[in-house]
């Protein structure tokens, strides 16, 4: 545990850590795909950004998905520029741990990725995911287009109904908003579970299937 006491709310720009003007160092190459981690997005491909708890296990969910061309672990959702992992863990940057996903929409739709996101964690837990507690573990979808935002809202609403029908009384707390800025996490976080197959994962869903996705 890096910090014994963490804020339970997201700080505003005035109270957040100042960060830095330069990006922190990260990996050059994707450990699984063997492509440059920060390659330009290929023509016709899309970018999706999801936060579903500790990004180690979350990233693996997406690099194993057919049609995904690139994944990266990082930070998003808060005001602190170019944060470090230790700063994010303090709860004073406002960021949550996220996975940046570059995908080919002719092979996997955005709706299918949202379905994977919803079924891979518990989106009702607020500022935590299981035993991982803090603002950096909150559920989030950061969109890169109006179409993505519409799809995300529709599917979260449908999943809320599916949870209720399955006996889950808690409401979904997933944050949905356009992406402001994505910051790459440090080298050792990138594709962590490919480098450390027995490492901590922490990702687990509710066991409830998302009723839509393939046609969205």
Find residue 71's DSSP bridge partners. 101
Question: Which of 54, 89, 201, 210 is flagged as catalytic?
Answer: 54
Catalytic residue status for 201: no
Residues with active-site annotation: 54
């Amino acid at each position: 545990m890096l910090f014994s006491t963490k804020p339970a709310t997201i700080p505003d720009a005035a109270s957040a850590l100042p960060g830095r003007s330069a990006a922190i160092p990260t990996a050059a190459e994707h450990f699984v795909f063997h492509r440059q981690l920060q390659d330009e997005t290929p023509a016709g491909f899309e970018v999706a950004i999801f936060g579903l708890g500790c990004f180690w296990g979350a990233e693996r969910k997406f690099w194993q998905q057919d049609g995904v061309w690139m994944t990266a672990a990082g930070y998003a959702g808060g005001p602190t520029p170019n944060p470090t992992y230790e700063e994010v863990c303090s709860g004073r940057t406002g960021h949550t741990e996220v996975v940046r996903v570059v995908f080919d929409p002719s092979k996997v739709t955005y709706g299918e990725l949202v379905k994977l996101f919803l079924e891979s964690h518990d989106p009702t837990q607020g500022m935590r995911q299981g035993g991982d507690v803090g603002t950096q573990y909150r559920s989030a979808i950061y969109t890169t287009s109006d179409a993505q935002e519409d799809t995300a809202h529709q599917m979260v609403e449908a999943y809320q109904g599916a949870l209720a029908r399955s006996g889950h009384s808690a409401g979904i707390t997933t944050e949905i908003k356009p992406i402001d800025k994505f910051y790459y996490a440090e080298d050792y976080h990138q594709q962590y579970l490919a480098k450390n197959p027995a490492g901590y994962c922490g990702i687990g869903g509710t066991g409830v299937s998302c009723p839509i996705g393939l046609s969205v």
